[in-house]
Amino acid sequence: MARRLSFKDAINEALFIAMRADADVIVMGEDVAGGGGRKDQGIEDAWGGPFGTTKGLIGEFGPKRVRDTPISEMGFVGAAVGAAATGLRPVAELMFIDFLGVALDPLLNQAAKMRYMFGGKARVPLTLRTNVGAGNRAASQHSQALYGFTVAIPGLKTVIPSTPADAKGLLLSAIRDDSPVIFCESKSLMNSEGEVPEGDYEIPIGEAAVLREGSDVTLVGMGSTVHTALAAAETLAADGVHADVIDLRSLYPMDETTILESLAKTGRVVVVDEATPHCGMAADIASLCADKGFDSLDAPVKKVTAPHTPVPFSPVLEDAFMPSADDVVVAVHEQLGWNA
Amino acid sequence: MISREEALDVYQQMRTIRSFEEKLDALVKVGRLPGFLHLYVGQEAVAVGVCAHLNERDIVNSTHRGHGHCIAKGVDLKGMMAELFGRRTGICNGKGGSMHIADVNLGMLGANGIVGAGVPLTVGAALTAETKGTGGVAVAFFGDGATNQGQFHEGLNLAGAWKLPAVFVLENNGYGEATPIEFATAVGDLSVRASAYGIRSLVADGMDFFDVFEKAGQAIEHARNGEGPTLLECRTYRFLGHFVGDPMGYRSEAEQDDWKSRDPLETFLAKALELGLVREDALKRIDEQVAAEIEAAVEAAEAAPYPEPSDVLTDVYVEG
Ligand SMILES: Cc1ncc(C[n+]2csc(CCOP(=O)(O)OP(=O)(O)O)c2C)c(N)n1
Ligand SMILES: [Mg+2]
């Protein structure tokens, strides 16, 4: 049975399921409880996570398995890596992916490389949950979509769900995966709702989803931009242009087959990504299409991304910064030669 | 001790910070102001007590809770308000917002969205001051939570090793977001962290302007005389939520009331009146003046133009 849940409640449910099923799963991060466990003062978990995704966990699993950390990303992410390498299955929370700068070495040089460097003998079943993206007027240091950084690191997997159902299933897969997985949660989707199946299920890492079918153009989105692509597809359909909309879900490993099969059908690809344009998903997908789908291309691949700038504060500027459905429609019109 | 004139300035600054923050709180709650705001109410004596010793050569680095430091360093109120409203006339042209509010020309090197990041930046500013012989000092403001960050520890060590003209002002308000400091470190007395890096430490009552002023004076003089950095811990409390919209729930009413009974503005007034530094009628005039100035800043900000969407692309690099 499915019922409607918000994105953040779906994440919360996945954490409960994973922690009940496996005593090695622990949760750690800043304010995941919020000075939790002060029952004497009537305070169980004051915040339950900055976005409420870890609410209630400390009540059921206790402060040993649900740990508020100091504001020490380098320290606690490193500790999560070390714990993962020695028998726990930590779910660490990096409040905003912008704090990657503070937490990078344990991911880049430790988690990602241990198995390889140690001749395949180590396992690092770490999940790092982190919040990504713009739109909240939170300005340059709390709004970035930096998943391209983690995708670029061999040894890490990176996923980004766009629906509550996928958030739950992908998080369960991520937690049970024996390699380190960066799990990105789009800020603008946290309160969105959708049907979520009950019980324990996994969405496999590495599989994209086709959310809408059409034969004229392929729109590829990830996280929040899946919804941008869907909105654009709706507008395009009114003009008789029918789009395949692919929700990438998994950034690395990436489902090349689904993209290339769609390209073979439509001949056109537009990638919609809220990250900046260089060395990112849009560039990777464009290169995939040029490399393995060249003969199917009827038009240049279009990248609809944020500009190569920091994220501005002013609402007017931030709205201009973020890729919009209109931008996607314009890109498709260009591919069709309609703007000439 | 401060003069009568200075006492009025001090009161005016503390009142300005208080009223500015309360105004923002109200504006966000009725949806007139966008953004992610961390307010400084309750901690006014720290910013004002420290910045009273600074001049334009001196550099200040702040935190996510940065409006008070800006006001105390003399940043233009109208420009700040316009910035918070995301207008082109903002002090950062609408690009920065609350968490990145700055005025480099006044030695205000910015609020900061990254907890702890201002500490090494301050070390760098002190390095410039020393290398160029400007006579300036660099001051970092940061919270108790920030003292668990690597950037804090590496920064203090470096400043100690190089004996730089820096002052590290730790505003210990007992919490990092919802988490009490006792949950985040086994160190009970945060000021002892200075000893790990061989630098001086001082502790001030952060609710008492006079105590902060005196201790900050010692630390800054020490730095100016080339005697190296100091960690100055000011024990204080934030009266409002961590951010506007904080559901709270992690602090008891009794604890909040206890601290509020030591309101830094009232504490200052009581002492200043007792010492004959200020007179009630002058204070009233200041209150009115401050309120009018803030209203005018809001009006001007709301009437000011937004940036052009194409301004997204400017000031990424130095052009020309
Ligand atoms: C590197 C980093 N980690 C986490 C955060 C989220 N965050 C913002 S403010 C804050 C609490 C800071 O506490 P403290 O340093 O005591 O300052 P206070 O808010 O009490 O003024 C946290 C965890 C951040 N902005 N930057
Ligand atoms: Mg604090």
Q: Chain B contact for A97, CB < 8 A?
A: no
- In a mutational test of the B interface, the residue from A38, A41, A72, A278 whose CB has the highest number of chain B CBs within 10 Å is A72
Cα distance between residue A107 and residue A7, in whole Å: 26
The pLDDT of residue A340 is 59
* Chain position carrying tokens 């609410």: A55
- Higher per-residue pLDDT: B36 or A81: A81
Ligand 1 centroid distance, CA of B175 (Å)? 9
A313 phi/psi in degrees, rounded to 5: -85, -55
pLDDT tens, A168-191? 999 999 999 999 999 999 999 999
Query: What helix, strand, coil percent values describe chain A, rounded to 5?
Result: 40, 20, 40
Report the gap between the CA of B294 and the closest CA in chain A (Å): 21
Chain B, window 72-101: residues with a beta carbon less than 8 angstroms from a chain A beta carbon? 83, 86-87, 90, 92, 94-100
The closest-lying atom of ligand 1 relative to the alpha carbon of residue B242 is: 19
Q: Which residues pair with B180 in a beta bridge?
A: B175
Contact between B148 and B182 under an 8 Å Cβ cutoff? The reply is no
Nearest CA in chain A to B37: A138
Q: Chain A contact for B36, CB < 8 A?
A: yes
Contact between B91 and B102 under an 8 Å Cβ cutoff? The reply is yes
- Checking if the pLDDT of A142 tops 90, the result is yes
Nearest to A74 among B150, B306, B312 (CB): B150
Q: Which one-letter amino acid corresponds to residue A260?
A: L
* Chain position carrying tokens 């770490």: A126
Nearest CA to A186 out of A253, A135, A139 is that of A135
**Structure letter (DSSP) for residue A106:** I
Q: Chain A contact for B275, CB < 8 A?
A: no
Task: List, chain by chain if needed, residues with CB within 6 Å of any ligand 1 atom.
Answer: A 30, 71, 73, 95, 99, 102; B 63-65, 113-115, 142-146, 173, 175-177, 242
- Checking if the pLDDT of A36 tops 90, the result is no
Assigned CATH topology for domain A2-197: Rossmann fold (3.40.50)
Active site amino acids of A: 142
Structure-token pair, residue A328? 């996607």
The CATH number given to B4-303 is 3.40.50.970
User: Looking at beta carbons, which residues of chain B come within 8 Å of A68?
Assistant: 179, 183-184
Domain boundaries, chain B: 4-303
- ipTM value for the complex: 0.95
Q: Whose CA is nearest to atom 19 of ligand 1?
A: B176
Report CB contact under 8 Å: B97, A314. Answer: yes
Residue A230: which H helix or E strand, with range? helix A224-238
Strands B179-180 and B175-176, bridge-based pairing: antiparallel
The closest-lying atom of ligand 1 relative to the alpha carbon of residue A141 is: 25
The pLDDT of residue A79 is 98
Q: Does the fold of domain A209-336 match that of domain A2-197?
A: yes
**Which strand ranges, in their side-by-side order, compose the sheet holding B200-205?**
B59-61, B138-143, B166-172, B230-235, B200-205
- In a mutational test of the A interface, the residue from B27, B147, B183 whose CB has the highest number of chain A CBs within 10 Å is B183
- Quickly list H helices, chain B: 4-29, 44-51, 67-72, 77-84, 118-132, 150-161, 209-224, 253-260, 264-274, 280-303
Give buried/exposed letters for B263-296 (b at 16+ CB in 10 A, else e): bbbebbbebbeeeebbeeeebeebeeebeebbee
Q: Whose CA is nearest to atom 12 of ligand 1?
A: B176
Q: Chain B contact for A72, CB < 8 A?
A: yes
pLDDT tens, A276-327? 999 999 999 999 999 999 999 999 999 999 999 999 999 999 999 999 999 9
Give buried/exposed letters for B234-255 (b at 16+ CB in 10 A, else e): bbbbbbbbbbbebeebbbeeee
Nearest CA in chain A to B145: A71
User: Looking at beta carbons, which residues of chain B come within 8 Å of A75?
Assistant: 148, 150
Starting from the CA of residue B175, give the closest ligand: 2
Query: What helix, strand, coil percent values describe chain B, rounded to 5?
Result: 50, 10, 40
Domain boundaries, chain A: 2-197, 209-336
CATH of the domain spanning A209-336, picked from 3.30.830.10, 1.10.8.60, 3.40.50.920, 3.40.50.880:
3.40.50.920
Contact between A139 and B97 under an 8 Å Cβ cutoff? The reply is yes
pLDDT tens, A206-247? 999 999 999 999 999 999 999 999 999 999 999 999 999 999
- Checking if the pLDDT of A339 tops 90, the result is no
Ligand 1 centroid distance, CA of B242 (Å)? 9
- Mean predicted confidence (pLDDT) in A8-23: 98
What residues in chain B have per-residue pLDDT under 70?
none
- Checking if the pLDDT of A149 tops 80, the result is yes
pLDDT tens, A86-119? 999 999 999 999 999 999 999 999 999 999 999 9
